Amino acid sequence: MQVLGIILVLVSVGTMVGPIAAVAVMYSSNLEGLVITPQIKDIMNGNSALLPINSGSNNNNNNYNNDQYNYTDSNGENSNNNNGFMSPVLVSSQIDSTARTVTVVANVSNPLGYDLTVNSFNSTIVCSQDNYQIGTIRLANPVMLPAAQTAQVTVTGYWTQDAENHVLTTHPGATSIAVNLVDTTIDVNGIVVQSPAPISAGSIPIS
Amino acid sequence: MNKNVNYIALAGGIATLVLIIVSVFVPWWQFTVGNPALAQVNVSPMNLNFSLLGTAITIPLILAINIAALLTMLSGGIAMLIYALKPNKPYSKKILGFGYKKPLIAVIIFIVGIIALVTLANSLSGFNVPVVGGSAMKLPANMSPDGMSISVNVLAAFGWPFYFAIVASALCLAAKFYHKKIPLEGTVAPPIPSTA
């Protein structure tokens, strides 16, 4: 009976202490490695492959070419050589004056080795000169951005009759008006970023 | 019913062994950041792991603690099975005493650990990390650039193995109480007084 008691105590201690002692011995020359793995160290140092910090610039000036209400990027092709983190590059836009809508197609690159989903995007378009509300813009449908690839994102904008009247009366003779996006909300994989500050969105042509 | 087998302990022992296998693959508690998930924390005494952008991060010390918990539970489960098949031997009570506590201790340590983890995360980060359910964790204003508001959708939930662990613990505890009803081998039940 006493032997059994000793065996049970040894089993209790052995099962608890054994694995921890073994790993401590394995990492005896690098005790920090017991808790801080190379992956965590890379993230802490900012050079992790999981979270690349890429400062690629977006050279697109976001200006629309109003020829036949269609836009193609200045290279005449829809390829995207922009490596900026989630920076959209305008591909094309279509304006429907009757329905007062604009459909914008942009390339968005995902530099991560992990699929991302843009669940929603919406914003208010205002005139950059007088902050008059021109319309709204929103993502048509959620878009998946495959890992390390570029995907096309389609956003649809709407403007009002009041906005048209405002442009005709306040900016007579103008061929284009500069616009800002305010109250912008974007949801990527459940991370929701809201920006009340104006974001320059280039110029919209007026026919 | 065979009085030489403690069926409750047998069920408790089997449940403990099944729980060990299940817990390696299915977490007792899961915390998910983002929708679809960007990061995930899967917690069970036998397997605690983190994943960030689909990449699992294994911390050696935590892995060792998980293995220790797994071996402890395994020894408890085996002890319960041995006891269940020989409940009336002189050494049975000792083996039962060794085995029945293991799942119960695992459940208690797990609950205390989760509450401590969430409390610590709340106090250190300033976020509102839920124990159960979904919420939008808002980044403190000083951490958000240019007056932006950044929030992250998170979801926390207990998995079915946690509830199964409670059942296994209850069975092992019940076996301990049932043991008192099992006569020790070699002892004779008192004779019924004759009325004649």
ipTM of the predicted structure?
Answer: 0.78
Residue A163 pLDDT class (50, 70, 90 cuts): confident
The H or E element spanning position A116 is strand A116-127
Task: Determine, for residues B53 and A51 on separate chains, whether the beta-carbon distance falls below 8 Å.
Answer: yes
The two tokens of residue A6 are 């000793």
Instruction: Judge whether residue A176 has pLDDT over 50.
Output: yes
pTM above 0.95, yes or no: no
Instruction: Judge whether residue B170 has pLDDT over 60.
Output: yes
How high is the pLDDT of residue A62? 42
How high is the pLDDT of residue B131? 92
Chain B residues whose beta carbon lies within 8 Å of the beta carbon of residue A113: 53-54
Does residue B42 contact residue B30 with C-beta atoms inside 8 Å?
yes
Task: Determine, for residues B64 and A23 on separate chains, whether the beta-carbon distance falls below 8 Å.
Answer: yes
Closest residue in B to A33 (Cα) is B60
Q: In a 10 Å sphere around its CB, with 0-12 CB exposed, 13-18 middle and 19+ buried, how is residue B153 labelled?
A: buried
Closest residue in A to B89 (Cα) is A1
A102 to chain B nearest CA, in Å? Answer: 27
Which of 95-114 (B) contact A at CB < 8 A?
95, 98
What is the rounded CA–CA span in Å between residue A89 and residue A80?
Answer: 7
Average the pLDDT over B37-47 and give the result: 92
Cβ of B133 under 8 Å from any chain A Cβ? no
Highest mean pLDDT among A30-39, B31-40, B135-144: B31-40
Distances (CA, A) of B118 to A147, B6, B61, B141, B168: 31, 40, 20, 21, 25
What is the rounded CA–CA span in Å between residue B184 and residue B87?
Answer: 8
By percentage, how much of chain A surpasses pLDDT 70? 81
Find the angle CA(B5)-CA(B6)-CA(B7) to the nearest 5 degrees.
Answer: 100
Does residue A109 contact residue A86 with C-beta atoms inside 8 Å?
yes
A114 to chain B nearest CA, in Å? Answer: 6
Considering only CB atoms, B53 lies closest to which of A22, A33, A50, namely A50
A184 to chain B nearest CA, in Å? Answer: 10
